[in-house]
Amino acid sequence: MARYRSFLFPEASITEEVCVLDVRESHHLARGFGARKGATVDLLDGQGRIYHGRLSEANPKAARVAIDSIERFERSPRSVCLLQSMPKGKSMDLILRMATEIGVNSIQPVFTDQGELQIKGDRLASKVEKWRLTMIESCKQCGLPFLPDLLAPISLKDWLSSQEAVSADAIRIVASLEAGSRPLSQTLQDAGALRSVVAAVGPEGDFSEREYAALRAHQFQPVRLGDYVLRAETAAAYLLSVIDSIRTVHVTGSQG
């Protein structure tokens, strides 16, 4: 029997015994997938819990799932933040999808000199909501227990000036095309235990000289990603994958 996955939006109602999904997820489950009564359903809350259950009512407006068990996960003690310049076009969707699947803790989109033009107001809010839904779909497709925090886009200058950027004790690295950049693996090995990492990736046109200088002033170490120039989405996937490969896996599950 097929196993379906749904996400627990705030509009859903859930106890340890039953869940009533919101309209969007109910319609997706009952009409989009055609799930029938008795189908196996996993409910993801994005905060480390997966509710395993059975569809007891395939209502496209208020699907009901009887909960059989709850699986709880713990995050790795090490955190990774992707500081991502907003690229032009639709590349950001792919970057967010891959970052979610790799398992970053947070994503901070930033406006940079050669990236997406700074947008504001309703257009920005709409774009951020669309990105968040893209990340949720990745969680559902892969059965991921954690949804990364998607932070509000700001300028790189403002982020670097913020308290988070100044006071964080994280290892800070930036994918760099500058001469003299050290290999990524060597930089990470020299850093020792990675408790917290901030990884910065620029746009297709790269960070400007002014931005590189500002990053260095805030302890970002320039790293080289192989021998070739990579697209923004490839650079992000490469950087995050290497970081993830050297982290100690600390994801445990327990039945409740």
CATH of the domain at 168: 3.40.1280.10
Q: 145: domain range?
A: 79-245
CA-closest candidate to residue 231, choices 193, 205, 194, 199: 205
Do 66 and 83 belong together in one domain?
no
Do 61 and 143 belong together in one domain?
no
Token digits of residue 85: 């310049």
Do 178 and 212 belong together in one domain?
yes
Section 112-128 average pLDDT: 83
Section 41-53 average pLDDT: 97
Token digits of residue 148: 């990364």
Q: Over pLDDT 90: what percentage of the chain? A: 68
CA–CA dist 231, 147 (Å, integer): 25
Do 40 and 118 belong together in one domain?
no
In a domain, 255, yes or no: no
In a domain, 125, yes or no: yes
Do 7 and 24 belong together in one domain?
yes
Token digits of residue 242: 């290497």
CA–CA dist 100, 193 (Å, integer): 23
Is 2 exposed, middle or buried (CB count within 10 Å of its CB: 0-12, 13-18, 19+)? exposed
Do 86 and 170 belong together in one domain?
yes
Q: Over pLDDT 70: what percentage of the chain? A: 93
Confidence of residue 255 (pLDDT cuts 50, 70, 90): very low
Per-residue model confidence (pLDDT) at position 174: 96
Of the candidate ranges 75-84, 171-180, 184-193, 205-214, the one whose mean pLDDT is the lowest: 184-193
- Is pLDDT at 49 greater than 90 in this prediction? yes
Number of domains in the chain: 2
CA-closest candidate to residue 253, choices 19, 106, 51: 51
- Is pLDDT at 153 greater than 80 in this prediction? yes
Do 136 and 31 belong together in one domain?
no
CA–CA dist 139, 76 (Å, integer): 17
In a domain, 254, yes or no: no
Q: Looking at this protein, which amino acid is placed at residue 224?
A: R
- Is pLDDT at 46 greater than 60 in this prediction? yes
Do 44 and 93 belong together in one domain?
no
Per-residue model confidence (pLDDT) at position 45: 97
Confidence of residue 142 (pLDDT cuts 50, 70, 90): very high
The span from the first CA to the last CA of the chain, in angstroms, equals: 23
Do 60 and 153 belong together in one domain?
no
* Residue at a domain's end among 70, 91, 120: 70
Contact 145/49 with Cβ under 8 angstroms? yes
Q: Which residues contact 120 (CB under 8 A, 6 or more apart)?
A: none
Higher pLDDT, 78 or 24: 24
In a domain, 13, yes or no: yes
